[in-house]
Amino acid sequence: MVKEKENSKFPPLVDGKSQYDLTSGKYLRVWQGPQHPGITGNMSLELTICGDEIIDCKTHVGYLHRGFEKLMERRKYIQCFPVVCRICVPEPDFNEYLFAACTEELAGIQIPERAEWIRTLNLEMARLTSFLMWIGGQAGSFGMGTIGQWTVTLRDYMLDLFEELTGGRIYHMYMLPGGVRADFPPGWINKLLDTLKTVEKTLDDVELAMMHNAVFKMRAKGLGIITPDMVDKYGITGPNARAAGVARDIRKDSPYLVYDKLDFEIVTGTKSDAYGRCEVRIKEMYQSIDLIRQIVEKMPKEGPFFTKLPNVLHWRIPAGHTYKRAECTRGEYGFYVQSDGSDKPRRTYVRGPSYTHAVALMEHLAIRTNIADTAGLMVSLHTYPPEIER
Amino acid sequence: MTEFNELSRQFQISDLKEQRADLHFFHASKEHAVAVLTSLKEKYGYTHLVFFTVVDHLEKNEFHLTYMLHNYEKHHDMGVVVKIARENVQMESIHHLWPAAATYQQEIREMYGVEFPGSPGLYENFALEGWEDIPPMRRDFDTKEYSDKTYYPRPGRESHDPREYMKENLYPGEAETW
């Protein structure tokens, strides 16, 4: 924490907390949100400001609380699938995959090899789609709305592909226990490769227009610095940690699906500020494009994609508990599922990366930033509120 | 497992279970749980608190507090389960080990009613506002009853049988010939 100078305009800090008197007239309390410019969803920041600088920040969630975990306690395993994908709007596939993987592990089901490849392809497409949405928010929060329009168009092209493959644009319900729901439609792979070319071309433009923009550099550099020693303290994962030089990527460290058969390196940065995190994410977008191409090339062209299951409406999963994790765009996404031997899960816990990033970390990083940069800081942490309150 | 064998000499821990090669669970007593977590973090490299949650076993009158820790060097997960009775439930806070744990504890207090004395912001609202009923994630909380009590049934919109409606309103003259 910054050491206070004498006669500083900021109130004194005691145990890392500002000691201020709101009635003194020097400070103002403002609310940003629940329609917050810095996130996809609803969340509020209660900010106390001195001039235009933030001296205290409190995150308020609950605007999207739909009680998914409670809902799942009363639903059969197969009935949970339309519920889980709704936990994270821009990246629902990770919920589907993790819940399916936990169920398979507890029930002792082995899925066909081709299903694993298709799932990996789906997850990488979801990562790319989510990043395309994020970059729109990041550019928009620093006044570069045009870039957001380019990337949201690209996201729509990706959603077209999802629609053709799964029948749904946003929520796919494609990965079920036992494999995936359908094979590729005829000609779909070619459309995917064409779309990737378009995305790659526009990404070059985005990188040029955004990362070399003087205003963006001035505002994003040094904003919300995460140091490597904060990573474990605050449970920081994903690009937020990798930008600080912490080379941790679940796809590489504990490979799931077919990531051990793919060739890629962990992308790291040297400084985790808003600019550094942006650099890492853009590199990861190129990485996702490359991984999708590798998957298309290496995957078995024919074979089963679904294992026969018992009657899912009377399906009892043996008692036990497990935890599965995957690397989504924001960090570690995990599902803890406990079964008591009945046809409904006893407990499902969703570990969303935004849980730690948007609450404890945001409250820490917001101090001493300018109120105009709050939205930029928020997007640079890449958080989605629905996975905080589940 | 080395960690478990060494810890079991000092602390009351039991029931080691291997779920996968990279995931183990064991039970720890309420009194020794925080000491076990501290040892796992400081001595055995389990530096990442993946999550902290509660599983309600109403029929046994128990809460199972589940701490999941991860070791980034061995890429191994350790789940520590602490069984505690459901009445007047209190547990030692772990916010001194991981500042992010305060958020988990704040949520658990709100959703399950488990108290963590000394945890920062414990009594502030997390997802709920002005909640006066029993904590909603407990299994004895009846969501259906709550919803019937809190919200009134709204009369649905007026609806018609399409065939009859068309007969009577749209084509009154032709209806007799149908």
Q: Mark yes or no for CB contact A62/B20 under 8 Å.
A: no
B28: CATH? 3.30.460.80
Residue A237 to residue A329: CA distance in whole angstroms: 10
Identity of the residue in B25, B98, B127 whose CB atom sits nearest the CB atom of A61: B127
Q: Is domain A68-389 given the CATH code 1.10.645.10 in the classification? A: yes
Considering only alpha carbons, which residue of chain A is nearest residue B94? A233
Identity of the residue in A67, A73, A334 whose CB atom sits nearest the CB atom of B50: A334
Residue A266 to residue A246: CA distance in whole angstroms: 10
Domain holding B101, by residue range, is 2-130
Identity of the residue in B100, B127, B128 whose CB atom sits nearest the CB atom of A360: B100
Identity of the residue in B47, B55, B68 whose CB atom sits nearest the CB atom of A347: B55
B153 within some domain: no
B138 within some domain: no
Residue B173 to residue B178: CA distance in whole angstroms: 10
Please give the C-alpha separations between residue B2 and each of A72, B11, B16, in angstroms, as whole numbers: 37, 14, 12
**Chain A positions in Cβ-Cβ contact with residue B23 (cut-off 8 Å):** 322-323
Going residue by residue through chain A, which has 390 residues, state the pLDDT in tens, using 9 for 90 and above: 444 444 566 777 776 667 777 888 788 888 887 877 667 678 888 899 888 888 888 888 888 888 888 889 888 999 998 899 888 888 899 999 999 999 999 999 999 999 999 999 999 999 999 999 999 888 988 888 899 899 999 999 999 999 999 998 989 989 999 899 999 999 999 999 999 999 999 999 999 999 999 999 999 998 889 999 988 888 899 999 999 999 999 999 989 999 999 999 999 999 889 999 999 999 999 999 999 999 999 999 888 998 988 888 888 999 999 999 999 999 999 999 999 999 899 999 999 888 888 888 888 888 888 888 888 898 898 888 888 887
CA distance A302 to chain B (A): 30
What residue spans define the domains of chain A?
68-389
Q: Mark yes or no for CB contact B127/A389 under 8 Å.
A: yes
CA dihedral sign of residues A49, A54, A57, A63? positive
Identity of the residue in B55, B68, B128 whose CB atom sits nearest the CB atom of A346: B55
For the segment B1-38, what is each residue's pLDDT rounded down to a tens digit? 788 888 888 888 888 889 999 999 999 999 999 999 99
B71 within some domain: yes
The count of domains in chain B is: 1
Which burial class, exposed, middle or buried, applies to B13 when counting CB atoms under 10 A from its CB (0-12, 13-18, 19+)? buried
Q: Mark yes or no for CB contact A336/B66 under 8 Å.
A: yes
- pLDDT bracket for residue B115 (50, 70, 90): very high
pLDDT of residue A8: 64
For the segment B63-101, what is each residue's pLDDT rounded down to a tens digit? 999 999 999 999 999 999 999 998 888 999 999 999 889
Which burial class, exposed, middle or buried, applies to A275 when counting CB atoms under 10 A from its CB (0-12, 13-18, 19+)? buried
Each residue of A80-119: b (16+ CB within 10 Å) or e? bbebbbbbbbbbbbbbbbbbbbbbbbbbebebbebbbbbb
B18 within some domain: yes
**Chain A positions in Cβ-Cβ contact with residue B126 (cut-off 8 Å):** 61-62, 389
Q: Mark yes or no for CB contact A322/B100 under 8 Å.
A: no
pLDDT of residue B13: 87
Please report the number of interchain residue pairs, chain A to chain B, with beta-carbon separation below 8 angstroms.
Answer: 83
B172 within some domain: no
CA distance B68 to chain A (A): 9
B109 within some domain: yes
Residue B149 to residue A16: CA distance in whole angstroms: 44
